[in-house]
Chain A
């Protein structure tokens, strides 16, 4: 581990669509055991950033480092796992078949799969087809797939979308449990939820990093003495 204690860092991540620059020189670090929330208004480039980091979208990158060692976006799958929003894997298959497939693919144990099924309340839908699931169950299935993966840094896009308050708190608790294994990078639209679970925040606007740090640091940057993430967001964006 380098002296800085950074687990993952990136510098100069940029992406252009024609003449429009959707990401511009984005850089940040992730530390062990933390949850970093990527927040920003619609179209800020949150999802694009995640896809660029995991090599799913073409981009320019100055550096990507894991524990101080550089790697290319094509090698990202060794360290990062990105769970996109709105994915419906193998809709014609039964939930248990899809879970078993990804568990085997990621080399996870049967015990871990069983634990996630129980923890995410998927027992009732195991013999249903994926396309027949409600939005909430689809999110749970996706989350189970993401948590079965083995890469040391997990990137989740809108992980609480589709959950009610109680379920959201339950999922937050599960994610906190998972922190003992790996840090998280969450792309969250709902600021109230982001404030509850994230340790630090990366505020993006129009593809640029507007602010990076804990809530207190963001408050200081916004010149606010008090207030939640929403007030800070409005002051900075």
Chain B
């Protein structure tokens, strides 16, 4: 990029940032976020403390007390609400302003590629993103100050999920503001996409639509990060969705482009998006970032499963909505999918319908395993029974690696400090900042701008 373009980009970024920091909507969003995060954090701390009291008396119960899972995932749930329902309005206000006030016609005449106007906005929004991170940062610091354990990789995965989700929301809202004539239309488009994800989740979970569709739901993508399982597919999907909407916004931004050219550009973008997603799905990579390794088998089991040379065939005789199937999916099948090179899973739908129909069928609940002509079956959904069965079928004998048992981090805390920080200190800080930025005269020096000795 030429130096002059960078200079213009910096000026646009600073102007957009000035606009953004002057919006009451940004500061109201931050106050709301502080209150919501505070409420979630205080509740999570209280519940964790209650569970910890029991665990301190009976240490074997401590393994269920994972701070990231029990405290930070619910705390960050407040972020999900704000990112989905409030943040789009801030973005639309910033991105739609140029179009509504006519400034866009002036800015499009700059010797700068039009996409740079949105790049500047995204850069300004990322500063807003840093402000949004303050309540989360406060929660982490308070937890650390109170003596709580914070497992970095697991927490980083959770935060990464929210950063990527926020980026996607920014790009969707930027696109919506670019293609809409009014902020109301932009809000409708943006919420249609984000809330449409909920509908997609609901339709998939009810079994009406194919399960693979849920992979494209933003909510499902974020949920994967909350589990602590870092997946290259999820990261690439998030980034690709963001890039697609950002690119589509850039295509629609210049007013002088014909509709046919715009549609051709969008089609090209979708093609590239499709190829990237297809490649990502074909070559997935995973990392279990959880402290209690809940997404992993024993390392010896994992090595043996990765080394299976032939096809492992599993037939599950259960209805899709059976809770045992959910358990089996979570504790066994999802891990096998990531480990076994050749795996086929078949869901044999039972003729029994629902809870009361199931026992009438003898085969119901049975899980069959076939490997190189050898066959075995079991009703168990526990990895402790399933894994030896698979190893026996494959003729593998192995000793489990010594892995220290996860004992959890029970902690009893007083949530009063958190309440003061989130209900008083942070809201006051945000309101004071809003007042400062609504009075820009405080920072203004016009003496240099009035020099008119020469024209």
Contacts and interface: CB of A to CB of B under 8 A. Distances in A.
B255 A57 contact: yes
B2 interface: no
Interface in A75-119: 76-78, 80-84, 86-94, 96-97, 99-102, 104-105, 109-118
Given A84-B102, A117-B452, A97 B18 contact: yes
A92 to B, nearest CB: 5
B435 to A, nearest CB: 15
B454 A84 contact: no
Interface band, chain B: 35 or more
Given A77-B109, A104-B11, A105-B110, A113 B102 contact: no
Interface stretch (B336-344, B369-377, B441-449): B441-449
Nearest to B109: A77
A83 B102 CA distance: 10
Contact of B255 (A56, A80, A87, A104): A56
Interface string A127-164: 10000000000000000010001010000000000000
Interface residues of A, number: 50
B49 to A, nearest CB: 46
A125 B450 CA distance: 12
Contact of A87 (B97, B105, B441, B452): B105
A111 B19 contact: no
Contacts of A118: 452
Contacts of B102: 84, 86-89
Contacts of B451: 110-111, 114
Given A77-B109, A92-B19, A123 B450 contact: yes
B440 to A, nearest CB: 6
Contacts of B15: 90, 101
Given A115-B452, A118-B452, A127 B8 contact: no
Contacts of A92: 19, 22-23
A82 B19 contact: no
A58 interface: yes
A74 interface: yes
A137 B108 CA distance: 24
A82 B104 CA distance: 12
Interface of A: 51, 54-59, 73-74, 76-78, 80-84, 86-94, 96-97, 99-102, 104-105, 109-118, 123, 126-127, 145, 149, 151
22 contacts: A55-B254, A56-B255, A57-B255, A58-B257, A80-B109, A83-B106, A87-B101, A89-B101, A89-B103, A92-B19, A96-B444, A97-B18, A97-B444, A100-B449, A110-B451, A111-B455, A114-B449, A114-B451, A116-B455, A117-B450, A117-B452, A126-B446
